[in-house]
């Protein structure tokens, strides 16, 4: 973990976007940590890999779908740390591997495909894995990942009134909530459509005093997980032109869009000082046709 230098650069969002003179916003650039073990994924994985090492397990097994950033990040982190990695993938092997799976394969991950039914039950095909292994839950959800995500705020973030992050499983936002001050508002932008279990999934990870101490926005999914519209793509290009910030269409593009929309609705009171977490995930844009994005 030491060799990944955390360049926790904060970029200020230009005032033209904020619409109000008296609020300001910074972006915490976790996307700069590493192109593949990107953003929040490193924080979610690091304690798992430490635990596996301390139990002297040399093989990491995890679950994911064909477009999972978690799969790519696990593959790359395992290679970096000298683990064998096995990804259990939902469904049949496609003739043409998705960019994420092919990237994971390039980083040494062995891919095992199981049926949708077996995947639902999270069945590890033990007959195919001949040695002891350490299992990381699907998408890195859980309290071990959350513990690691607390470190995202382990820098000078106390003056922020709001902390905004994209949300998938809820593990990262749970870490942010645990690490934030009681008076800070933590806002999550869900990347999934109608994920009504999310509030409970997050509460499950939180300590008693922190339960429900956060707000979720469910209206910025653009059709659902990994779905997109022209409006989202146009926004991501405009956002890049205005701020120089690249975003991905699964998570961070939707968060920045939501943020701009909240600004337009005068959601933030005067003197708000907002921290946006850029959780990375830019490699996911590889599945877009060439020329879709201007960056
Ligand atoms: C995985 C991911 C998330 C979601 O993180 P959770 O801890 O699952 O909520 C957000 N942003 C990016 C870029 C991701 O890859």
Question: pLDDT digit string (tens) for 40-62?
Answer: 999 999 999 999 999 999 999 99
Nearest to 226 by CA among 171, 168, 278: 168
Kindly report the pTM of this predicted structure.
Answer: 0.94
pLDDT of 3 > 70? The answer is no
Ligand 1 near 251 CB (within 6 A): yes
In whole angstroms, how far apart are CA 293 and each of 189, 203, 229, 242, 249? 22, 36, 13, 14, 10
Looking up tokens 């997050």, which residue turns up? 202
* Beta carbons within 8 Å of 221's beta carbon, 6+ residues apart: 190, 191, 192, 193, 227, 254
Which one, of 40, 123, 131, lies nearest residue 77 by Cα? 40
The closest residue, in CA terms, to atom 15 on ligand 1 is: 281
The per-residue pLDDT of the chain, averaged, comes to 93
Distance 166 CA to ligand 1 centre (A): 7
**Per-residue pLDDT at 2 exceeds 60:** no
Is the pLDDT at 107 greater than 60? The verdict is: yes
Ligand 1 pocket residue status of 68, Cβ below 6 Å = no
With a 6 A CB cut-off, is 190 part of the ligand 1 pocket? no
Q: Bigger pLDDT: 279 or 16?
A: 279
H runs (alpha helix) in 82-129: 99-106, 116-120
Ligand 1 close to Cβ of residue 40 (< 6 A): yes
CB-based burial label for 199 (10 Å; 0-12, 13-18, 19+): middle
Neighbours of 271 (CB within 10 A): 10
Nearest to 98 by CA among 120, 79, 109: 109
% of the chain at pLDDT higher than 70: 97
Residue 208 gets which letter from DSSP? G
- Helix (H) or strand (E) holding 60, with range, is strand 59-64
Residues 78, 85: Cα–Cα separation, whole Å: 6
> Does residue 170's CB lie within 6 angstroms of at least one atom of ligand 1?
yes
Q: What is the pLDDT of residues 151-169, one digit of tens each?
A: 999 888 899 999 999 999 9
Closest atom of ligand 1 to CA, residue 69: 15
Mean pLDDT confidence for 105-110:
96
202 close to ligand 1 (CB < 6 Angstrom): no
SS3 label, residue 273: strand
Indicate which residue's Cα is closest to atom 2 of ligand 1. 168
Q: How far, in Å, from the CA of 170 to the mean position of ligand 1? A: 8
Query: In this predicted structure, what is the pLDDT of residue 4?
Result: 36
What integer pLDDT is reported at residue 33 of this predicted model?
83
In order of 128, 234, 241, 243, 275, the CA distances from 16 in angstroms are 56, 18, 12, 10, 17
Instruction: Please give the distance, rounded to the nearest whole angstrom, from the Cα atom of residue 126 to the centre of ligand 1.
Output: 28
157 lines ligand 1 (CB under 6 A): no
């Amino acid at each position: 973990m030491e060799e990944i230098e955390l360049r926790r650069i904060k970029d200020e969002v230009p005032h033209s976007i904020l619409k109000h003179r008296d609020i300001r916003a910074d972006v915490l650039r976790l996307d700069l940590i590493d192109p593949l073990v990107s953003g929040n994924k490193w924080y979610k994985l690091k304690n798992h890999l430490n635990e596996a090492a301390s139990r002297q397990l040399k093989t990491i097994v995890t679950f994911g779908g064909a477009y999972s950033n978690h799969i790519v990040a696990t593959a790359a982190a395992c290679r970096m740390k000298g683990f064998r990695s096995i990804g259990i993938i939902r469904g049949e092997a496609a003739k043409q591997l998705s960019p994420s799976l092919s990237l994971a394969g390039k980083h040494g991950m062995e891919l095992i495909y199981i049926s949708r039914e077996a995947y639902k039950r999270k069945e590890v095909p033990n007959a195919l894995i001949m040695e002891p292994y350490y299992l990381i839950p699907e998408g890195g959800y859980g309290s071990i990942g959350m513990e690691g995500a607390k470190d995202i705020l382990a820098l000078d973030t106390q003056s922020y009134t709001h902390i905004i992050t994209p949300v998938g499983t809820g593990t990262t936002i749970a870490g942010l909530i645990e690490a934030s001050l009681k008076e800070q508002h933590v806002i999550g932008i869900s990347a999934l459509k109608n994920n009504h279990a999310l509030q409970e999934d997050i509460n499950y990870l939180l300590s008693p005093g922190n339960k429900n101490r956060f707000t979720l926005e469910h209206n910025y999914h653009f059709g659902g997980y990994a779905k997109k519209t022209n409006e989202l793509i146009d926004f991501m290009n405009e956002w890049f032109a205005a701020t120089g910030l690249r975003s991905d269409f699964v998570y961070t593009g939707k968060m920045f869009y939501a943020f701009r929309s909240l600004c337009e609705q005068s959601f933030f009171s005067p003197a708000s000082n907002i921290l946006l977490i850029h959780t990375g995930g830019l490699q996911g844009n590889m599945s877009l046709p060439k020329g879709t994005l201007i960056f």
